[in-house]
Amino acid sequence: MLQHEIYKIYGTDYKDMTIRILEESNLQEAVRNKAEAMGINDATQLRIGIKPNLVAPTPASFGATTHTEVVAGIIEYLQARDFNDIKIAEGSWVGDKTSDAYEFCGYKTLCENYDVPFVDAQKDGHHTVDCNGLDIEICDVVNDIDFLINVPVMKGHCQTRITCALKNMKGLIPNTEKRHFHSMGLHRPIAHLSQGIHQDFIVVDHICGDLDFEEGGNPVVRNCIMTALDPVLVDAYVCKLMGLTVEDVEYVKLAGEIGSGSTDVEHARIYDINEGNMDKEAPRDNKVLRVKYAVNEVDSCSACYASLVPALLQLEEEGLLEKLDSQIAIGQGHQGETGKIGIGKCTRNFDFCVMGCPPDTEHIYEELKKYILG
Ligand code: SF4
């Protein structure tokens, strides 16, 4: 597989599809090339890390977390070629414990079945890395990995619009740094993180990701798996699949500008292994954009914004949202400010505040409904 290539495979037997696409895109060769670059003769000695997306304890069918079948396929492919020093590493988002997602999403069973250790990045130590001029705290497990296989879910995101290869690396920073990312506006730190954690190979779970929300709930079935070597290129391609341009997703553009990869999708070679399926990828309506006009968001945490949007969509469906007399403030950037309506403890000084950190969707919906109806 070459740097400007993206491979795709469609089907419903996710483990077999994964093994097939890894054979076609020659993962083994990529590991060998890395070993050679590191001056290691025996490539099977490389410490391989697999980074899935276990953002929260929800089933993969909800569209937020990486299917275990995909990771099982990667492990089987590697173990069949004597790559046995494998670990899985991940840290869930701030609102949930990785240990819950590890069990609930089937990773405990997976790790036991294949005798592969799991590293909970939320419990790991961390160290400062200069990521192209921006200091970022990165989990220590990254230093114990020679070859990193990133296995993100292709999803929508209510703040950054897409999340895939680049943003999935946020699971390898401590919770304190995740909060800090939000206070820095997400795009710049995500782009710079691509310089602090090198992704060697990407396997995208594009089976049924939620194309609106990072935490899932509205899966869109595509039954596709993609592979690539360049995280920026694959994210740029995801922008295209979702009807966006690279300019629409600032961190992808920025990651390209600081040298983490190419955004040149037009010159990429997209190879459909089982051919004839590309028409399944028609861009679709983005629900989040429908209600964005009602929100004044400044540096909000993902979990907080993700709670708000479904509540607004419900109010919109009931014809109530348009009756709001003010924009809704949300995010750490509103701390200490005053105003009319706010969501979360960061807006506690507002005249009307739905408290919580983060408040849940049901609570937000009920409180805003009461406010609107007087
Ligand atoms: S209130 Fe919301 S934005 Fe503020 S810290 Fe809590 S979760 Fe984050």
Question: What is the domain-level CATH number for residue 86?
Answer: 3.40.50.11440
Q: Rounded to the nearest whole angstrom, what is the distance from the C-alpha of residue 346 to the centroid of ligand 1?
A: 6
Q: Which residues pair with 352 in a beta bridge?
A: 341
- Contacts of 39 by beta carbon, 8 Å cutoff, 6+ apart: none
- Contacts of 190 by beta carbon, 8 Å cutoff, 6+ apart: 160, 166, 167, 169, 170, 181, 251, 255
User: Three-state DSSP class for 232?
Assistant: helix
Position in ligand 1 atom list of the atom nearest CA 358: 7
Q: Rounded to the nearest whole angstrom, what is the distance from the C-alpha of residue 238 to the centroid of ligand 1?
A: 28
**In a shared domain, residues 240 and 352:** no
| β strands within 12-154, DSSP E | 48-52, 86-90, 118-120, 126-131, 134-139, 147-151
pLDDT of residue 281: 63
Task: 358-364: list long-range contacts, CB under 8 Å, 24+ apart.
Answer: 358/95, 358/301, 358/303, 358/304, 358/306, 358/307, 359/304, 359/307, 360/307, 361/307, 361/308, 361/310, 361/311, 362/311, 364/307, 364/308, 364/311
**In a shared domain, residues 345 and 225:** no
Spatial distance between the Cα atoms of 156 and 308, rounded to a whole number of angstroms: 15
pLDDT of residue 323: 93
**In a shared domain, residues 24 and 49:** yes
Position in ligand 1 atom list of the atom nearest CA 94: 7
| Alpha-carbon radius of gyration of the chain | 21
The two tokens of residue 164 are: 């895939």
Phi, psi angle pair for 261, to nearest 5°? 160, -170
**In a shared domain, residues 250 and 317:** no
Contact 132, 257 (CB under 8 A): no
**In a shared domain, residues 14 and 153:** yes
**In a shared domain, residues 103 and 243:** yes
pLDDT of residue 213: 83
**In a shared domain, residues 271 and 293:** no
Instruction: Give yes or no for residue 301 CB within 6 A of ligand 1.
Output: yes
| β strands within 74-117, DSSP E | 86-90
Q: Rounded to the nearest whole angstrom, what is the distance from the C-alpha of residue 195 to the centroid of ligand 1?
A: 28
Domain coverage including residue 264: 5-281
Spatial distance between the Cα atoms of 107 and 67, rounded to a whole number of angstroms: 9
Given 223, 249, 281, the domain boundary residue is 281
**In a shared domain, residues 325 and 271:** no
Given 230, 261, 281, the domain boundary residue is 281
CA separation, residue 316 to residues 17, 80, 141, 285 (Å): 40, 52, 44, 16
Phi, psi angle pair for 175, to nearest 5°? -55, -40
**In a shared domain, residues 247 and 298:** no
Residue nearest atom 4 in ligand 1 by C-alpha distance? 346
**Other CB atoms closer than 10 Å to residue 333's CB: what's the count?**
17
Instruction: Give yes or no for residue 179 CB within 6 A of ligand 1.
Output: no
Which of 104, 72, 64, 65 has its CA nearest to residue 88? 72
pLDDT of residue 362: 94
Sign of the Cα pseudo-torsion (216, 210, 17, 271, in order):
negative
Q: What is the pLDDT along the chain (374 residues), one digit of tens a residue?
A: 999 999 999 999 999 999 999 999 999 999 999 999 999 999 999 999 999 999 999 999 999 999 999 999 999 999 999 999 999 999 999 889 999 999 999 999 999 999 999 999 999 999 999 999 999 999 999 999 999 999 999 999 888 899 999 999 999 999 999 999 988 989 999 999 999 999 999 999 999 999 888 888 888 999 999 999 999 999 999 999 998 999 999 999 999 999 999 999 999 999 999 876 665 665 566 677 778 889 999 888 878 888 898 899 999 999 999 999 999 999 999 999 999 999 999 999 999 999 999 899 999 999 999 999 98
The two tokens of residue 19 are: 């093994």
Position in ligand 1 atom list of the atom nearest CA 330: 3
Instruction: Give yes or no for residue 300 CB within 6 A of ligand 1.
Output: yes
Chain CA centroid to CA 105, Å: 16
Spatial distance between the Cα atoms of 53 and 171, rounded to a whole number of angstroms: 8
Instruction: Give yes or no for residue 229 CB within 6 A of ligand 1.
Output: no
Given 252, 281, 310, the domain boundary residue is 281
Instruction: Give yes or no for residue 346 CB within 6 A of ligand 1.
Output: yes
Contact 65, 27 (CB under 8 A): no
- 187-196 and 250-257 helices, crossing angle to 10°: 40
Q: Which residues pair with 137 in a beta bridge?
A: 128
Instruction: Give yes or no for residue 357 CB within 6 A of ligand 1.
Output: yes
**In a shared domain, residues 219 and 326:** no
Residue nearest atom 1 in ligand 1 by C-alpha distance? 344
Tell me how many domains the chain contains: 2
**In a shared domain, residues 271 and 294:** no
**In a shared domain, residues 271 and 305:** no
Q: Which residues pair with 128 in a beta bridge?
A: 137
- Give me the half-sphere count of Cα atoms (radius 13 Å) on the Cβ side of residue 139: 24
Q: Rounded to the nearest whole angstrom, what is the distance from the C-alpha of residue 361 to the centroid of ligand 1?
A: 14
Instruction: Give yes or no for residue 159 CB within 6 A of ligand 1.
Output: no
